[in-house]
Amino acid sequence: MNDSVTASLALPGLLDGPGPRLADHLAAYGPLPPADAVEVAARAGLTGRGGAGFPTAVKLRSVAAAAGATHRTPVVIANAAEGEPAAAKDAVLLATAPHLVLDGLQLVAGSLGADTVVLAAPGRVLPALGAHLAARPDGPSVRLHRAADRFLAGEESALVSAVEGGEPLPRSKFPAIRERGVDGRPTLVANVETLARLALLARGDAGAAGRALVTRRVEIGRTPVTDVADVHLGARLGDVLRIDDDVPAVLVGGYHGTWLPAQVARDVRLGREDLADVGASLGAGVLAALPAGRCGLRETARVIGYLAAESAGQCGPCLNGLPRIAAALALLARPGRVDGGLIDDVSRWCGLVAGRGACRHPDGSVRLVASALHVFAGELARHRAGRCSATDARAFLPVPAVRA
Amino acid sequence: MTPTWIWYLNRATGIVALVLMTLTLVLGVVVQRQRRLPGLPRFGVVTLHRNVSLLSALLLVVHIVSAVIDSYVSISPLAVLLPFTSAWRPLPVGLGTLAVDLLVVIVVTSLLRGRIPVRLWRGIHWTSYALWPLAFVHGLTAGTDLGSGWALGIALACAGAAGVATALAWTGRDTNPADRAPAALAETTSALARGARVAVFRNR
């Protein structure tokens, strides 16, 4: 145990390593020691960093069990298909410490006996990744997959479908991907940060499971600033994110996340249970402090408009529900008289779509709507009286143009 | 000699079955293209497709039984399932037999749809497009009095409808699923801007 403590003191974290080159990586972290990924993940209680926070050891065990039961070789997919426009942690991690991710991938693939190993990432980061792979002895065994530029591209089943050569659309979770994924084989889809943390844990950095990468977005001097930080899960949100006194609310978790009033956000800790107590979760790791002078309803309406257009269009509740919610929210986000029943309609529609899609896109989208209607209730009333507290019409949260 | 009404029954059920099978095919294409019929929700089109197909299968049972017991033509019970074994016009009757065999497989797999792999069901369901021409040629060639004209007219009208529906089905879906949501968003936004009600879901 003493060894691991000393080792953890000597090892740099995910983002303060020496840089992306293999020689520097080996000098700083040392070679990957032989280890069993399941044991490493179980001992540290590591949870997935793709958004759902599922225990990694449980996932690994069920893939291994499915492989044993079906006598089929499993597939491992490292997921860096970060479709969330506000998130940048996976891209930054791959640019800073690609070899930690690839070590984690190697560890997991070895422990599961996988013969197909895929790293899925947006097209813009692939050339650099190709060069890093070429430097490694296990490089040729990893297949790079170009992930689609869509919000849902990183959704587990959509990614599996794309890796199979199909459209990047989510599909039914029965049977689960970990039992029957790529070509019907047991498939592990793991976020790249989860894999990098496994690589640190295997080297004895016992604290790696207690930290998380977050993408922070704040406005400093009328300029939006985005950065990625490796933060402790026990930290106060107010210590991690710059929340100025005049900030009205903080978005926690990204576009499938939750708005929290600033006074609640400042003191909440980032642990899973602490965030759950205030109805939030770290999700994709996005923390954004809404600057003063911006209208939270207008920001939410723009995000929901984007999310509605990014629906895969497969499940009725999502296809019929999200565009209606988005269109209604766009009306409510502007000052002026609206049909009095519209807010009730939005609340009712939100209840009608949750839990009724092949994926969790509708659930996450209405979670954001519900928290906005709650946190910005005062603003909602102001809008209906024909006023808006916004003094700055510029958009704060990044939203790509809606596909025509 | 069996009475002549059996012959009439056989001919009538054959013609009506062809019309209903054509209707089934057209409805199947409406289902596949995810279109609606006036006054019917989408699941209503699916139910109609299924019920019309089952009705045509029922008519086929009457058609087959009457053909076997009719003494004017000599068709053994074996020839009902085994193609080209009929003493009466083996080739035309055999085509009808093939169609019946296909139909049995399609109906059985559709009734078991929830219990078999979807891909298996879909693969078998595509053979419907072979079933219809078999039944059509059987109808033109196995019958005893096509000459009067109106029966031929019905058959050709059915062929036209089936041809158009098939062409539509094989050209594929008209919208990519990923394009549906932006379209729905634009539609709803303009409806709300006009002050139209959007609380109703599409299936009303």
What confidence tens digit (pLDDT) does each residue in A262-316 have? Answer: 999 999 999 999 999 999 999 989 999 999 999 999 999 999 999 999 999 888 8
Chain A residues within an 8 Å CB radius of B185: 305, 308-309, 322-323, 326-327, 402
Chain B residues within an 8 Å CB radius of A169: 177-178
Q: Which helix (H) or strand (E) holds B180?
A: helix B177-194
Asked whether the beta carbons of residue A319 and residue B181 sit closer than 8 angstroms, the reply is: yes
Is residue A155 less than 8 Å (CB to CB) from chain B?
no
| Most confident option among A6-20, A260-274, B64-78, B134-148 | A260-274
CA distances from A205 to A55, A92, A102, A229 (A): 18, 21, 17, 18
What confidence tens digit (pLDDT) does each residue in A134-169 have? Answer: 999 988 899 999 999 999 999 999 999 999 998 899
Distance from CA of A317 to the nearest CA of B (A): 9
Residue A6 pLDDT exceeds 50? no
**Interatomic CA distance for residues A397 and A250, integer angstroms:** 11
What confidence tens digit (pLDDT) does each residue in A327-371 have? Answer: 999 999 999 887 778 888 898 899 999 889 999 999 999 999 999
**Interatomic CA distance for residues A3 and A101, integer angstroms:** 23
**Chain B residue whose CA is closest to A169:** B178
Residue A9 pLDDT exceeds 80? no
Per-residue model confidence (pLDDT) at position B35 = 80
Cis amide bond preceding B41, omega within 30: no
Provide the CA B41 distance to its chain's centre, in angstroms: 20
Is residue B174 less than 8 Å (CB to CB) from chain A?
no
**Chain A residue whose CA is closest to B191:** A327
Is residue B179 less than 8 Å (CB to CB) from chain A?
yes
Could you tell me the pLDDT band of residue B80, with boundaries at 50, 70 and 90?
confident
Per-residue model confidence (pLDDT) at position B90 = 86
CB pairs under 8 A between A and B: 66
Q: ipTM of this predicted complex?
A: 0.74
Other CB atoms within a 10 A radius of the CB of residue A147 amount to 25
* Domains observed in chain A: 2-209 (3.40.50.11540), 233-289 (no CATH), 296-384 (1.20.1440.230)
Is residue A183 less than 8 Å (CB to CB) from chain B?
no
Other CB atoms within a 10 A radius of the CB of residue A172 amount to 11
Please say whether the beta carbons of A194 and A48 come within 8 A: yes
Per-residue model confidence (pLDDT) at position A8 = 45
Written as six digits, the tokens of A315 are: 């499940």
For A283, the 3-state DSSP assignment is coil
**Interatomic CA distance for residues A60 and A52, integer angstroms:** 15
Written as six digits, the tokens of A14 are: 């995910």
Written as six digits, the tokens of B189 are: 């936004």
Distance from CA of A310 to the nearest CA of B (A): 7
Residue A319 pLDDT exceeds 60? yes
Please say whether the beta carbons of A333 and A326 come within 8 A: no
